Structure 1
Amino acid sequence: MDTDTITAISTPLGEGAIAIVRLSGPDAISIADHLFEGKKLEKQTSHTMHYGKIIDPETEEAAEEVMVSLMRGPKTFTREDIVEINCHGGLVSVNRVLEIVLSQGARLAEPGEFTKRAFLNGRIDLSQAEAVMDLIRAKTDRAMNVALKQMDGRLSKLIQSLRQQLLETLAHVEVNIDYPEYDDVEEMSHQMMEEKTKEVLQEVQKLLQTSQQGKILREGLATAIIGRPNVGKSSLMNALVHENKAIVTEVPGTTRDVIEEYVNVRGVPLRLVDTAGIRETEDIVERIGVEKSRQVLTEADLILLVLNYGDELTAEDEKLFEAVEDLDVVVIVNKTDLPEKLDMERVRELARDHSLITTSLIKEEGIDELEQAIADVFFEGELDAGDMTYVSNVRHIQLLKQAKRSLEEALNGMEMGMPIDVVQIDVTRTWEILGEIVGDTVHESLIDQLFSQFCLGK
C-alpha cells in the first residue's frame, strides 16, 4: 500500500463556476498549508472550510483565490487526510493550482486511486467501490438508486451473510470430522451441509434473477430502429430523444449512416441507434449505410421495427420480420394520419407475440403508449429499488453463476453419497468465489484493472 500523497483534479475539465483539486495522504495538510495564505490549516479542526489564496512558491505571488476544505483521517473517504482546494472553474486556473501542488511533492493520482485507497484502507469493499463508478455513469434515476443501494452496502451485507453461513457450516463439519465421538456424526454433518447449501443456493438464484434488469439499468439497452426508407425512423428517434438529432425529409434514404444517442424511456436507459433504411440500392454510400444497419441488427438487445401505415406491405418488410423473429421487438405502425394502405391483419399475424403500437409522430400521437411498451418488454411491473437487491455488474453476475455451479456440484455430490470432505471442496470454492465479489479473496492484478477504469480524480 502506497503511503505517499496523491492529487488530481476531481471535477470535469472545461469552464465552470468551481473546480476542485483534491489531495489525499499523510502530507496533504502540510502541502496545502505551505501554499495557502490564510488561516494555518494544521491548527484547524477537521471538516471545515477556509477562505484564502494559493501562493506560487517560485514567484511568491497569489496564483488563485480559493476555498479550502480540510478533512482529517480516518473520517474521510480514503481514511487519510484529505484537502480539497476549490478554485475558479477555468482550464488555466485549475491546472495552475494542480501544477503548484505537484511541485510541492504530491504525486498525480492514477485513475480511480482515491477510491482504491478507500477500498485498501477498509472504508468500502470492492462491490461498493464499483458502485461509485456505476453512480457516476448512471443514466436514469432507477440506475442511480440501484447504485446508491450498492454503495450503502446492501449487496455487500448479503454476500457477507452468505459467506458467514458457509463458513460456520464448514467449521461445524470440520469439528465433527476431527472429533467423531458419536456414531451419527457423519449423518448430522451431511444433513447440515445439505440444508445450508440449499439455503445459500436459493439466495444466489434470487440475485441472478435480478441480474437481467440490473444489467440493463447499468449498461442500457442497445436499441436499433429499423425499417424501410421513409417510414419515420429518424422522426421516431427525435421523438424519443425530445430534440432534432436526426435529419428528417420526405426523400427516401436521407439517413445514410448509423446515428447513436442515449435516451431515458420510463426509467429504461436506451442506447438508441437510428439506422439507414434497409433496402436494395445502387447508391454506393447508401449501400454502406444499409450494411451497417444489418450489423447493428445482430448486436441489438431491442428492435423497434417501423412500418408505414400509408404504404402497402412489401417483401422487404416481411424479410425484416423474419430477421428479428427470435429477438425482443416492438412493432410500430407509423403515419396513421395518412390513408390506410397497410394490411393491418397481415401485420398482426407477422407481429405475433410482439408488442404492436400505432403512431402518428407528426401529430405526436402514440408516443406514450410506445414508451410504455418498451418498458414492459424488460420490466414487468414497477422496478422496486427500495426492497430488492439488484445485481448489475457483469463481474458480479459471472461470479454468482460460478458460485451457483459450485453449490449445485456440492449438492450432486451429496446425493451420490460422496464423502463429506470431498463435498467440502465445492462449498469452500463457493465461499472463495463470493469473496471475490466483495474483494476479500480477489487478486491484486484484478483490483488494479478494475480501478484503472475510473476517472482520474475519483
Structure 2
Amino acid sequence: MEHTIAAISTATGEAGIGIVRMSGLTSFEIGKKIFKPIKEIDDKNLENRTLRYGHIYDDDKLIDEVLIAFMKGPNTYTREDIVEIYTHGGIISVKKVLDLTLKNGAKIAEKGEFTKRAFLNGRLDLSQAEAVIDMIKAKTDKAYEASINQLEGSLKKDIKKYRDGLLNLLAHVEYSINFTEDGQEELDNSVIIKEGEEILEGLKKLYNSSNRGKIIRDGINTTIIGKPNVGKSSLLNNLAKVNKAIVTDIPGTTRDIIEEYIDIDGVALKISDTAGIRDTDDIVEKIGVDRSLDFAQSADLIIAIFDLSKELDEEDKIVLDLLKGRKAIVLLNKDDLESKLDIDSLNIDENIPVIRISIKNNKGIDKLEETISKMFLQGEIISSNETLVTNIRHQDILGRAINHLESSLNDMKLNIPIDCVEVDLRDSWEILGEITGETIEDDVLDKIFKDFCIGK
C-alpha cells in the first residue's frame, strides 16, 4: 500500500459540496502542491485537522475555491495520512480536482479501497468493514441500527468470545493428545463437552438471527398479483403514499414491473406492482404477464388481490394456483361495493391470511401492514443493541462452524480417538475467523470490497 489513492467520495450530481479524498504516503505532498491557502501555513499547522480556506490551482490555472483538511495518520479512517478537499458541488468541479490529484501522482481508488485499507491497517475487522456498506445501503431505521451496531463491534465481540472458547477447548484436547500417553492424568471430557455445547448454543442463536437479519437488511421481496383492474396499482400507491403507478379503468395499463421500497415497522418491503394476469394478444402486455408470473415465483411474499364486486373467473383461478405452497396474503378489494364473489369458492389455504379491504376508502390497509409485520417478525421487538446476523456470508460461515463443532462434540460423546476430535474443533475455530477476516483468502477479500462504492 505504498501508493496514494484518490477518489470522489460524494454522489455524482448537483449538490452544495463535493468531496475529493486522498489516502497514502504522498497525500500531504500532493495536497500542499495543488492547494494555495489565503494565509500561508506551515507543516505543523497542516497536522492539526483544521479546515483551511483557499484555492486549488493547476500550476497557475485556478480550478476551484475550496476548504481542505490535512489529517495525520494513524488517527484517521485508513490509519494513513488523509487529505480531504471540499469543492463546490456538481460534476465538473470535483472531477477537475480529482484529475489534478491523479496528475500529481495519486492513483484512482478501487471500489471500497479506503475501507479495505482501514481493515488491512487494523482499524476495522472485516465484519465492521462490511457494516459500512450496509449503513450506506440501509433503507429503514432498523436496517441502519443493525448495521451501526455491527460497525460498533457487536458481532466482532461475539465471534471473539466464541473463538476464544474454542481455543481453550483446543488447548485441553492438545494436552490430552500430547501428554496423557506419558502417564499424565486424562482430562475429563464431560467438562469439554459442557463448554462446547454452551458455545454451540451461542453460535446457533447467532445463526437463527439471520432470518430476521436478512429481512431487516434486504427487505421483503413482495409481489402484488391479480387480474387486471382489481386494484394492484392503487394498493402500491396507497402503501407508498405517492402516485407511483398509473391507475385507469382500462385493463392492461400496467405492462412492466413497477418497484418501490416501503417501510413497515422498520422493515423494508421491496414491493412490485405487476401486470394484470390474463390471456392477451397484445405482445407487449403478454411479456408483462410472463414477467408477473416469474416475479411471483421468486417473491418472499405474494399479495394476491381479488375483486369482491365480481364473480370468480378463470383469470382469478390462475392467480389462486400461484399461491399454493407460498407465503401469501389474500386481499378482497372493493369492500365498499356490493359483493358478488363467493369467497368459499376460492378454497384458500387456512394458513393464508384473508383481509377485506377498500383501497378507495383506505379501509383495511392498516390490517395488511400489521399482518405483514407479524408474518415476518412474529411480533418480536428487535432491540437496537441486539446482535443480528444480516450478511449471507456470515450465515454460511456460522453454519459451517456449527456443523464442525457438532461433529466434534458427537465424537467426544462416542469416545472417538481424541486426534479425530481435534480436527473438527480446529476447523470450527478457523472457519469462524473468516467473519472477522483473521482467516480469510485474498480472493474472497477482494470480492467483498468490490461491492463497495468508489470513494468509501
Report the TM-score when normalising by structure 1: 0.95
Partner of 1:40: 41
Q: Does 1:50 align with 2:52?
A: yes
Instruction: Name the SS for the 2:186 alignment partner.
Output: helix
Task: For 1:139 and 1:318, locate their aligned partners in 2 and report how far apart those are by CA, in whole Å.
Answer: 35
Tell whether the 8 Å contact from 2:373 to 2:379 is kept in structure 1 after alignment.
no
CA shift digits 1:438-457 (9 cap, x unpaired) = 00000111111111111000
Give the corresponding residue for 2:121: 121
Report which stretch shifted further, 324-333 or 124-133. 324-333
> What's the CA shift for 1:360?
1.3
The CA distance in 2 between the partners of 1:428 and 1:341, in whole Å, is 66
Q: Is the 8 A contact 1:51 1:68 kept in 2?
A: yes
TM-aligned CA deviation for residue 233 of structure 1: 0.5
The one-letter code of the counterpart of 2:452 is F
In terms of mean alpha carbon deviation, does 351-360 or 421-430 score higher? 351-360
Give the aligned partner of residue 103 of structure 1.
103
2:255 maps to what in 1? Answer: 256
* Alignment correspondent of 2:371: 373
Report the CA distance between 1:326 and its aligned residue: 1.4
After TM superposition, the structure 1 stretch with the greater mean CA deviation from structure 2, 190-199 or 79-88, is 190-199
Structure 1 residues 305-331: Cα deviation after superposition (integer angstroms, max 9, x where no partner): 111121112343244233212111111
Conserved in 1, the CA contact under 8 Å of 2:226 and 2:306? yes
Give runs of aligned pairs for residues 260-299 of structure 1, distance below 5 A. Answer: 260-299=259-298
Q: In structure 2, what is the equivalent of residue 199 of structure 1?
A: 198
**What TM-score comes out, normalization by structure 2 length?**
0.95
Taking the TM superposition and a 5 Å limit, the aligned residue runs for 1:162-311 are: 162-180=162-180, 185-188=185-188, 190-311=189-310
- 1:382 is displaced (CA, Å) by 4.1
| Distance in 2 of aligned mates of 1:249 and 1:162 | 58
Residue 291 of structure 2 aligns to a residue in which SS? helix
1:218-249 per-residue CA deviation (whole Å, 9 max, x = no partner) reads 11221110011110001111111111111111
> Retained in 1: the 8 A contact 2:112–2:452?
yes
Matched, 1:456 2:447: no
CA contact (8 A) 1:119 1:129 kept: yes
Is the contact between residue 9 and residue 456 of structure 1 (CA under 8 Å) also seen in structure 2? yes
Partner of 1:67: 67
RMSD: 1.7
Give ranges in structure 1 of 5+ residues lacking alignment: none
SS of residue paired to 2:51: strand
- Once the two structures are superposed, residues 369-396 of structure 1 have per-residue CA deviations (whole angstroms, 9 ceiling, x without a partner) of 2111111110122432324210010100
- 1:208 and 1:318 mapped to 2: Cα distance? 39
Whether the 8 Å CA contact 1:360–1:366 is kept in 2: the answer is yes
Question: SS where residue 260 of structure 2 aligns?
Answer: strand
- Whether contact under 8 Å (1:169, 1:192) holds in the other structure is no
Corresponding residue SS for 1:270: strand
Deviations 1:12-49 (A, max 9, x none): 01110000000111111121111111143622133221
Equivalent-residue separation in structure 2 for 1:11 and 1:383 (angstroms): 35
Comparing 209-218 with 31-40, greater Cα deviation is found at 31-40
Equivalent position of 1:133 in the other structure: 133
Quote the residue 2:430 is aligned against.
Answer: 432
| 2:175 partner letter | V
Q: Deviations over 1:336-389 (max 9, x none)?
A: 121111223445x51412222222112222222211111111012243232421
Specify whether residues 53 and 387 from structure 1 end up closer, same or farther in structure 2 by C-alpha distance, changes over 3 A only.
Answer: closer
Moved beyond 6 Å, runs of 4+: 181-184
In the alignment, what sits opposite 1:423?
421
**Secondary structure of 2:360's match?**
helix
* Structure 2: distance between partners of 1:185 and 1:138: 55
CA pair 37-387 structure 1, distance change in 2 beyond 3 A: closer
For 2:3, give the aligned amino acid: D
